[in-house]
């Protein structure tokens, strides 16, 4: 699955997911969720943007990228008759690297 990297403390970074085999057609919204890969509380549980017929994105805010580590990310598309999670297998791996001091 895809890997997305940044440095701790980076602000206003945007992640975009291309929906291989999926589509946003008919979707009414998308929610992004991210938590440490070792488990624990969600760091992100927020609305994203439908940016194309096969693309969704999310702009990180506040302290969401402050803690270095490895995280699992997924997006849930909402439709009038239910929802679909992408990726359908596994997660997008988000790696937040520490900054040099």
Q: What is the pLDDT of residues 61-91, one digit of tens each?
A: 999 999 999 999 999 999 999 999 999 899 9
Mean pLDDT is lowest, of 22-26, 38-42, 75-79, for: 22-26
pLDDT of residue 1: 58
Q: Which domain holds residue 41?
A: 3-97
The structural domain count of the chain equals 1
Cα-Cα-Cα-Cα torsion 84, 1, 47, 62, nearest 10 degrees, comes to: 160
pLDDT category of residue 21 using cuts at 50, 70 and 90: confident
Tokens of residue 42, six digits:
């969600």
Q: In CATH, what number is assigned to the domain containing residue 45?
A: 2.60.40.10
- What does each C-alpha distance from 68 to 28, 44, 78 come to in angstroms? 33, 15, 30
97 touches 5 (CB < 8 A): yes
The answer, as to whether pTM is greater than 0.85, is yes
Fill in the DSSP letter of residue 26.
Answer: T
């Amino acid at each position: 699955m895809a890997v997305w990297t940044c440095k701790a403390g980076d602000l206003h970074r945007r992640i975009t997911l291309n929906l291989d085999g999926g589509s946003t057609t008919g979707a009414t919204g998308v929610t992004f969720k991210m938590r440490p890969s070792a488990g624990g509380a969600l760091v992100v549980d927020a609305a994203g943007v439908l940016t194309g017929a096969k693309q969704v994105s999310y702009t990180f805010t506040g302290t969401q990228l402050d803690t270095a580590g490895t995280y699992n990310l997924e997006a849930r598309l909402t439709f009038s008759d239910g929802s679909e999670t992408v990726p359908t297998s596994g997660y997008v791996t988000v790696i937040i690297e520490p900054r040099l001091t």
